[in-house]
Amino acid sequence: MSIIRILPEAVANKIAAGEVVERPASVVKELMENSLDAGASRVEVSLEAGGKRRICIIDDGCGMNHDDALLAFERHATSKIRTAEDLFEISTLGFRGEALPSIAAVSRLELETRHASENAGTRVEIAGGKLRNVKEVAWPQGTRVEVRDLFFNTPARRKFLKSESTELGHIATLVTHYTLAHPERSFRLVSLTNEILNVSPVATPRERVYQVLGGQLLEQMVEVTPVERRMPAPSFAGPDEESEPGEPVIVRVFGFASRPEIQKLNRNQIYFFVNRRLVRDRLILHAITEAYRNILPSGMSPVALIFLEIPTAEVDVNVHPSKTEVRFRRSQFVHDLVRDSVRQSLVAARPVAAFPMGKQQRSPTTDMLEADAAERLSDEPPGLKGSEIPGPSGPPQRRHDFRLSSPRPTPEPGRLPLDDAALSFYSPPTLGGQTAVPTVAELPGATGASELPADLVPLGQVQESFIVATNPEGLWIVDQHAAHERVLFERHIRQRRERKVEGQRLLMPIVVELKLEQQAVYQQIADELSANGFEVEPFGQRTVAVKTAPAEIRADDVEQLLLEILDSVGQEARSLSLDDLRLKIAASVSCHAAIKINMALDQNKMRWLLRALGETQAPMTCPHGRPIVLRYGMKDLQKAFKRI
Ligand code: ADP
Ligand code: MG
Residue with the smallest CA separation from ligand 1 atom 17 is 72
pLDDT at 440: 29
User: What is the CA(258)–ligand 1 centre distance, in A?
Assistant: 36
Residue with the smallest CA separation from ligand 1 atom 13 is 78
Strands (E), 149-194: 186-190
Closest by Cα among 357, 378, 346, 360 to 632: 357
Residue with the smallest CA separation from ligand 1 atom 19 is 34
Q: Which residues contact 631 (CB under 8 A, 6 or more apart)?
A: 352, 353, 354, 355, 473, 474, 475, 476, 477
Closest by Cα among 51, 58, 70, 2 to 31: 58
pLDDT at 350: 57
pLDDT at 110: 98
What are the C-alpha distances in Å from 497 to residues 292, 427, 429, 490, 510?
A: 21, 19, 17, 11, 27
Q: Which region among 58-62, 369-373, 477-481, 608-612 has the lowest average model confidence (pLDDT)? A: 369-373
Listed ranges 12-16, 292-296, 529-533; the one with the highest mean pLDDT = 529-533
Which is the closest atom of ligand 1 to the Cα of 142? Answer: 24
What is the rounded distance in angstroms from the CA atom of residue 353 to the CA atom of residue 620? 8
Element counts in the chain: helices (H) and strands (E): 17, 25
What is the rounded distance in angstroms from the CA atom of residue 432 to the CA atom of residue 618? 15
Question: Above 50 in pLDDT, residue 370?
Answer: no
Judged by DSSP in three states, 463 sits in coil
Closest by Cα among 276, 289, 266 to 338: 289
Question: Above 50 in pLDDT, residue 421?
Answer: no
Closest by Cα among 365, 342, 426, 397 to 602: 426
pLDDT at 352: 52
Question: Above 50 in pLDDT, residue 445?
Answer: no
User: What is the CA(164)–ligand 1 centre distance, in A?
Assistant: 27
What are the C-alpha distances in Å from 338 to residues 35, 253, 303, 322?
A: 29, 7, 15, 24
Mean pLDDT for 68-96 is 91
The CA-based angle 620-623-626, given to 5 degrees, is 55
What are the C-alpha distances in Å from 548 to residues 501, 510, 560, 587, 611?
A: 11, 9, 14, 18, 30
Mean pLDDT for 82-102 is 90
What is the rounded distance in angstroms from the CA atom of residue 636 to the CA atom of residue 497? 42
Q: What is the pLDDT of residues 303-335, one digit of tens each?
A: 899 999 999 999 999 888 888 889 999 999 999
What is the rounded distance in angstroms from the CA atom of residue 360 to the CA atom of residue 635? 14
Residue with the smallest CA separation from ligand 1 atom 2 is 94
Ligand nearest to the CA of 105: 1
Residues with CB under 6 A from ligand 1: 4, 30, 34-35, 38, 59, 61-64, 72, 77-80, 94-100, 143
Listed ranges 76-85, 128-137, 281-290; the one with the highest mean pLDDT = 128-137
Mean pLDDT for 343-359 is 62
Question: Above 60 in pLDDT, residue 407?
Answer: no
Question: Above 60 in pLDDT, residue 587?
Answer: yes
Strands 277-279 and 54-59 come out as: unpaired
Ligand nearest to the CA of 76: 1
pLDDT at 571: 61
Q: If you compute the radius of gyration of the chain from its CA atoms, what whole number of angstroms results?
A: 30
Q: What's the whole-number average pLDDT of the chain?
A: 79
- Of residues 22 and 445, the one with the higher pLDDT is 22
pLDDT at 447: 38
Mean pLDDT for 402-431 is 25
Q: What is the pLDDT of residues 386-405, one digit of tens each?
A: 222 233 333 333 222 222 22
Mean pLDDT for 246-275 is 86
Question: Above 70 in pLDDT, residue 301?
Answer: yes
Question: Above 80 in pLDDT, residue 18?
Answer: no
* H/E segment holding residue 528: helix 516-531
- Of residues 610 and 298, the one with the higher pLDDT is 610
What are the C-alpha distances in Å from 396 to residues 424, 451, 633?
A: 25, 10, 22
Mean pLDDT for 162-174 is 89
Ligand nearest to the CA of 4: 1
pLDDT at 220: 84
User: What is the CA(96)–ligand 2 centre distance, in A?
Assistant: 7
Residue with the smallest CA separation from ligand 1 atom 21 is 34
Mean pLDDT for 224-247 is 67
Question: Above 90 in pLDDT, residue 60?
Answer: yes
